[in-house]
Chains A and B, each alone.
Chain A
């Protein structure tokens, strides 16, 4: 009662400040339900919206290649197989700083906690997650045209297969996640190598069926059925399924309207190269391959890695690959060599070189090896000679399957050096890693044929046990 009269009294005093405050108060106290609603954060797109629009669905898919280019397995950067497994094998020598993580691979001081190995693993599975996110997103993308979705699905399957192919060759038995569900992926079991290969082939043959024969943008920067075939051929080769490997590589070699061996070595790595089956486009207009900036150096001694002088010395002096694909730097008394396949270290007006993931010469060598293993001596020689001829060399003298196998291993070493760690994977599958590396790597152990499963993952998911031997 008192309060009421006081208030009344007060209002008749016409106290302006008080009235103002009361008004402000009542406005504020009324609150609003929307107050806690916030706009979607800038730079982020809700997951479901990405796959309602062709442009964003395409971007989610092409980002898979972006990730390959910058970080994962076939990257020309120092996190790609080219550098890391080149150092691990007898292809590259390490000159970087002691704290560079690549050093442990070079010296074979790899522990289960190795940061370089950890990042190979982490980046690979992150990319696999991205593939699965695209596949799941497309699953429910009713607004997108069927043909469009089919192509993107094929590309995601191809990338998923490609990454697993490298993983299985690095780590042996591995898990094969096919969903984005973290609960099941967190407890996922690893499966035997053979089953991983089955899954890879399954993904690749699905991809091949989904992708057309033409390059969707005109440039060779997104996978089509040919790119998938090239990878399938390699998978069959690694599995020793010679007949299938021969058929698959033959399919590409025979498509001369699309693919021919560039006769001029200096043209092989240009972006217009007709021997390229799949290329990764640099990030920006005018920029060039990551390989060039990783490998090339101007003055001695090498700042990071150099080609092993043993490799350079074992090439014939008249091998054009030695003169055109290898650069030399000397301080007067000593020389160092670098891979000079890609020549554009810096930006050019428009990009001149793209990183090549798959190229025709490898298909020749795949078919040669498949033929040699099926006792097709002449066929094998013919394929090797196609490569040797271009390098200005004579025909091969090898004429038994065993000689041919070794000749092919040697030819692959000279043709494919500094490309995605081919050398390591070759000596490994030939069962010759021990023989070749134990004399030159003091810390070499026969168990080094597999990298360790990163310890942090093993600790988190006991289903990944056991650790690979030797770690």
Chain B
């Protein structure tokens, strides 16, 4: 019954259309009704366009793949569908034409790429856009979509800042453009900018999440993503004007598909632990180091505070603090359900996900997340009015220790006392140590919720003209607190709950955006012209409020601010950020092989003072598909494209141009606390980023091999610099534009191959490789500036200037350094002349996807060639009361020794002490930190259930960061700031599709 109804409905639509357009019928031959069913390998195909060639008569197949239209016997029908080969069938005498469509994975003009304000087929694309789809994302057990991108795209370098749940990522698209202002890309979800600035406050969360940067992108469930496109060059990013300089990341969420209502349920469970431990001294080696240090320093009687060697601590005790403090196994559980379906006119999708994850720290810490995504698409019968609505809502609960113990784990003496005494209380060993678990008395908790919605309405006014209104609203909030009960302090202070403290923070963000647009499309015989005109009006409100509560009747009230004796406001921020812009895109396609794309934007931003509020940005891109003219057998696709343009960067924070006093939480004598907020500069402007790119894209052997090579050169000028000043100015920096110029250039290679494809077996493989170079081209007055000792013209921004280590003097046993100016002294100003470049030399990924019958295997390796800080960075002199890497054992002991490490010292020997501090400012702390990592591995088996072809169960085993090959000795080579390294994850799950 239902099917019949649908069939009739489709026919009715078709006839209605035909009737409506009847005046243009001019054929002489009699028209007859042609109908049929369109299928593909899997069955009926809905949404196939059927057109009577050289007319405007057409139809679309319905849910059962049926279509009907009027044609005469001399007509030819053209069947087109995205991702399938176009077929032409002559009508002849038939009245029924059934067509089987062939999937065409190689059809580049059928792969549609999201470019933000417009869509473009891969063939016609003039800009540089990388793409990743659900298939690759779903196979990775990650929390944050950014993690899924690691190593997958040429030119996109992503590094985790911490392995704790909720931690963030450093994302650099084609290198660091700005010396000081933000280098974060612009994130757009379903057409709406998603502000990636954290709602967290360092005051409450910096202890556990680096710089309090709780990544808002954690609110995006990776499984809800259909595709991620990264816009890289000027052609693709200039339409985002002042926010395009650092690249744009477009996230498109999944949509429902017309057809049978589908249910899907999945569940997975797994474990996680740190990727690797560092090799440290054991108790015996440690005590040997300490005793030798005292002997070297001529101290025979161990001082009272040397608890580790003087016998106050057990000399035979050994604890692997890495195991105890960060070596636990975290458990991961995830369940997800979705329902989707709809008709031709209206489609929907609803997805919900719940996740729970414990931590690698001791104690019952955990991260909970619930996400809900919904999507609704509608179009009217005439295909004129379209509506697209998407909404996501995420709740996160994160419960963590008050601080990351990774640093303690590698520096605590291995014979330090037990964490708990016999009665189960924190052991202070008579106040002789800072029990690291006291930090766990400090607890961090956050609750956040994130809502992001988008609604797009469009209407086809006439055939050539569409009007569209994009709108979005989002609201997110984050509440967190960190407690510091008195029990976290050495009892010798004699504290009580009257000294217990809680630090709270509440951040709220709200934004709305309206983007009216007009799209004009005119088609001629030889060309197609697309003109887009639009405007953007966006307001964002950010509020933050944080207090300290001090003194509680008992610690059980510690999160209860009303029970606090004293409440102090520590920050209260309310800022607005408004933008008002106009943008355009003019695109002309000549004979479907020559493409020209012009984009422009005029941006106004409230972040700049009057007179500097507006800026103009734009780009020109072109592409030529030469393979159509060459007609070579082996080359089935060849395109050359290039672009040039200007984008900007406004990531400098709000209100920086104002000279103000800030209210501080430190009142005096009944008056509020007031402090000058900053040194101010009313004149600063946008940073400019000029990007150029040229690329060659080729497909060989029926696209079994596809190669893309791109060369880019980006130059950022008018740099906004937080100009470091001597603190005699009262502050350490001022924000100003400087005529400095930074260049990022490089090569990007993308190779995709299908080495083998048979009926049952398929193997696809891809490699991406980025060679990048970052260079400071100009910096007027560098020599006399704050950056004199940080940057060198002609070198990268990632350099560090260091003393040059000559080695350990075999006679004195001390480190020696190059005295560059031969004045007999080592001074920071003159002798830190060794330049270490920490820019990754190259990086990329190697991916293989194999399927055999119902089995699938996805293996992905990430590789990075770079230098980094090794195990000695920021260490105390070897011999002081801090554990060290085993590499220190290769040390000088007596005259004549040739060793890597200088003689041990407790710090009492000023020469050894000074030499060590020079050492940790020398190239002795730089090592090769290159690595190859088995980033992700997924093995899946799909089980067909029952007769209905769509009912299946998929079993999935996935792993992340499974194996790291590196020579680096300083821990995980990705994360070198002493924070928790990224985690190895292993999960097993199933997905049921009904």
Contact = CB atoms under 8 A, between A and B. Distances in A.
Contacts of A442: 297, 908
A58 B671 contact: yes
B469 interface: yes
A20 to B, nearest CB: 9
B494 interface: yes
B761 interface: no
Contacts of B788: 459-460
Contact of A283 (B579, B666, B728): B666
Given A56-B674, A125-B727, A36 B580 contact: yes
A43 interface: yes
A129 interface: yes
A413 to B, nearest CB: 23
B884 to A, nearest CB: 13
B431 A299 contact: yes
Contact of B492 (A107, A122, A301): A301
B580 A217 contact: no
Given A6-B462, A17-B459, A39 B578 contact: no
B658 A29 contact: no
Nearest to A467: B827
A122 B663 contact: no
Given A43-B573, A58-B671, A177 B492 contact: no
Nearest to B828: A455
A28 B516 contact: yes
A274 interface: no
A126 B730 CA distance: 4
A35 B575 contact: no
A230 interface: no
User: Residue among B385, B461, B729 with the most chain A CB within 10 A?
Assistant: B729
B457 A188 contact: no
Contacts, number: 286
Contacts of A60: 661, 674
Contacts of A10: 461-462
Interface string B716-755: 0000000011111111101000000000000000000000
Contacts of B909: 443
A275 interface: no
B789 A459 contact: yes
Contacts of A58: 671
Nearest to A99: B876
A328 to B, nearest CB: 14
Contacts of B679: 180, 182
A301 B827 CA distance: 39
Interface string A60-92: 101101110110000000000000000000000
A222 interface: yes
A142 interface: no
Nearest to B463: A6
A77 B155 CA distance: 49
A3 B518 CA distance: 15
A41 B574 contact: yes
Nearest to B520: A3
Interface residues of B, number: 101
Contacts of B573: 41-43
Interface in A215-240: 217, 219, 221-222
B671 A98 contact: no
Interface residues of A, number: 104
A213 B893 CA distance: 67
A44 B730 contact: no
B907 to A, nearest CB: 6
B604 interface: yes
Interface string B426-444: 0000111110000000000
B266 interface: no
Interface stretch (B66-74, B564-572, B583-591): B564-572
Interface string B469-483: 100000000000000
Given A35-B578, A44-B655, A459-B788, A50 B674 contact: yes
Contacts of B462: 3, 6-7, 10
A296 B726 contact: no
B880 interface: yes
B498 interface: yes
A429 B827 CA distance: 29
B664 interface: yes
B577 A38 contact: yes
A180 B446 CA distance: 41
Nearest to B533: A29
B578 A29 contact: no
Contact of A129 (B434, B499, B731, B785): B731
B925 interface: no
Nearest to B490: A303
A121 interface: yes
A298 interface: yes
B786 to A, nearest CB: 5
A464 interface: yes
A303 B576 contact: no
Interface string B889-917: 00000000000000000011110011001
Interface stretch (A108-116, A246-254, A318-326, A373-381): A108-116
A63 B724 CA distance: 25
B94 interface: no
A459 B829 contact: yes
Contacts of A32: 580
B103 to A, nearest CB: 36
Contacts of B459: 15, 17-18, 21
A280 to B, nearest CB: 8
Given A112-B828, A299-B494, 12 more contacts: A3-B462, A28-B537, A29-B535, A40-B660, A41-B654, A47-B661, A50-B674, A60-B674, A107-B908, A111-B914, A130-B675, A188-B728
21 contacts: A10-B462, A17-B457, A21-B458, A22-B467, A31-B535, A35-B537, A35-B604, A36-B613, A40-B660, A41-B655, A44-B655, A44-B660, A58-B671, A59-B673, A109-B907, A111-B917, A186-B729, A284-B568, A300-B430, A303-B431, A459-B828
Interface of A: 3, 6-7, 10, 15, 17-18, 21-22, 24-25, 28-29, 31-32, 35-47, 50, 55-56, 58-60, 62-63, 65-67, 69-70, 94-95, 97-99, 107-109, 111-113, 121-122, 125-126, 128-130, 132-133, 175, 177, 180, 182, 185-186, 188, 217, 219, 221-222, 281, 283-284, 286-287, 296-303, 331, 345-347, 442-443, 445, 454-462, 464-465, 467
In the complex, the 10 A-B pairs of residues with the closest C-beta atoms, listed nearest first = A129-B730, A298-B494, A42-B574, A66-B668, A44-B660, A461-B726, A38-B576, A59-B671, A185-B729, A62-B668
